[in-house]
Amino acid sequence: MEEVGVLVVSYGSRGAAILDSLLRSGEYAVNAYVADRQRNPFNVKFSKEHIVIPSLDPNEICKFAARYKDKIDFAIAGPEKPIIAGLRDILEKELGIPTICPTKKYAIEKSKVAQRRLFEEVAPEVNPRFKVFDPKDYERLSDVKKQLFKWLDELDNKVAVKPDTPAAGKGVGVWGDHFNTREELYEHFMANFKEGPVIVEEKIEGEESSFQAFCDGKHLVPLPETRDYKRAFNGDRGPNTGGMGSYKSTGFYLPFMNEADWEKEKVIVEKIFNKLKGNGSNPELRGIPFYVAFIHTASGPMILENNSRPGDPEIMNILPVLKDDFVEVCFRMIEGSLTRVEVEKKATVVTYKVPPSYGGYEKFFPENVKRDEIGTPIILEKAESFASKYGDRLRIYPGSMELREDGRAYALRSRTVCTVGIGDDIQEAREISLEGLEAIEGGALWYRTDIASKEHISKSIRHMEELRKTR
């Protein structure tokens, strides 16, 4: 088998899933050089070289890559921070390593304001009504408050407040979820406004889905739609998280969508792609430049936001069931010849276990936390032993987990570990994922039990039926 060297820039379970997909290549023997946030046990075990760069600073990653420059054929990045900071620009300019992620210019995730303006130009029908409040435009805070409240009058308070840059200030806040009074909303708004521009947009009601597509700069290759579970607790309650789990059906769209929704999504993203690509090709868009959170409303899909990277957990619903060799897919993205990929007609369900501090769990449910287990090692052996029962239909990807000197792995602060179940239908995939997850021991970890449940999916279907009736 031909040997290939790949630099993997990793954060969380997504990085482990990318590494796993590369290593499963049937055509290439992959030597992985992993730049990681911490000593992820999976990445440490399966990489040829592993380095911890907690900041994931592109200059530091470039220094690491320079040591193995002649052995690395290409790089691939999962997390947004280094992508937005120009990882690809520096790796390609300094070392000539082709990199799979958009350039800094096309990491449109970096500005929600720029995204909304782009969509307004290309596909206004996907934008909710929005207004940008830019600190540069105001001399007095009293003027901002006046303008904001005037806008709230127009939208009957039903708004989402979003900072321009990812995770600035207090992040996204939604009327009825994060605040119920104008004063609370104003406090949330100001925490963001102190950091930079803020969008206040109409709150849209509907069911969410995640669209992802591989892109080689010439072609857009849509991947099956997935559903992320952003809220911390069962029943979509509690604070927003990075995503507690996700599911994919056996086909390209989700049970609460119809084919027309899926076709519309593809047309919308093509329009955005064509605008950024121009008439020819734009290799700067290579990677997953469009990971779009859609919300399905009475009048069709609208865009909540666009990210310029694979989703976590959403990409874990796709990579394990990609029929094509993932290394070959990467080469075709680099060459500009990726016109299609094949995905198995299987359902997948991802569920995450997380520590008590995550999502505010210990604050909301102190009685559920097994205090004596906090900080104990995370043990994956029992879950891994199910491999004999499920084979490849169960995958276990450590995320915010650190391998320490005692040879054991411990939970850090973010999502600890996920399992991917692969089945002939969503319920089978869910059972496999949950059985694996429940077998993971230690650390007082907890998880949502309703990811991809029949009840949750039926509720989404009913919700969409109700919404469509109001059209």
Binding of ligand GLY by 15 (CB under 6 A): no
- Collapsing DSSP to helix, strand or coil, 76 comes out as strand
* Residue nearest ligand GLY (C-beta atom): 243
Binding of ligand GLY by 242 (CB under 6 A): yes
Binding of ligand GLY by 228 (CB under 6 A): yes
Count helices and strands in the chain by DSSP H and E runs: 15, 22
User: Which residue, 297 or 307, is less far from ligand GLY as judged by CB?
Assistant: 307
Q: Which of 285, 352, 284 is nearest to 317 (CA)?
A: 352
Could you tell me how far CA 134 lies from the centroid of its own chain? 27
User: Which residue, 155 or 304, is less far from ligand GLY as judged by CB?
Assistant: 304
Angle at 340 between CA 337 and CA 345, to 5 degrees: 155
Which phi and psi angles does 251 have, rounded to 5°?
-105, -155
Residues 175-214: x where in contact with ligand GLY by CB under 6 A, - otherwise, as a string: ----------------------------------------
Q: Which stretch binds ligand GLY (CB under 6 A): 310-318, 330-338, 367-375, 437-445?
A: 310-318
Token digits of residue 118:
């782009």
CB of 351 to ligand GLY, least distance (A): 13
Which phi and psi angles does 232 have, rounded to 5°?
-70, -40
CB of 415 to ligand GLY, least distance (A): 10
Binding of ligand GLY by 243 (CB under 6 A): yes
Binding of ligand GLY by 311 (CB under 6 A): yes
Binding of ligand GLY by 305 (CB under 6 A): no
Instruction: Measure Cα distances from 280 to 115, 219, 221, 287, 465 in Å.
Output: 22, 10, 16, 17, 41
Binding of ligand GLY by 399 (CB under 6 A): no
CB of 307 to ligand GLY, least distance (A): 6
CB of 157 to ligand GLY, least distance (A): 27
User: Which residue, 173 or 242, is less far from ligand GLY as judged by CB?
Assistant: 242
Q: How many residues bind ligand GLY (CB under 6 A)?
A: 7
Token digits of residue 139:
């001399």
Q: Which residues pair with 211 in a beta bridge?
A: 292
Token digits of residue 415:
């999502």
Q: Which of 265, 310, 368 is nearest to 10 (CA)?
A: 310
Binding site for ligand GLY (CB under 6 A): 228, 242-243, 307, 311-312, 314
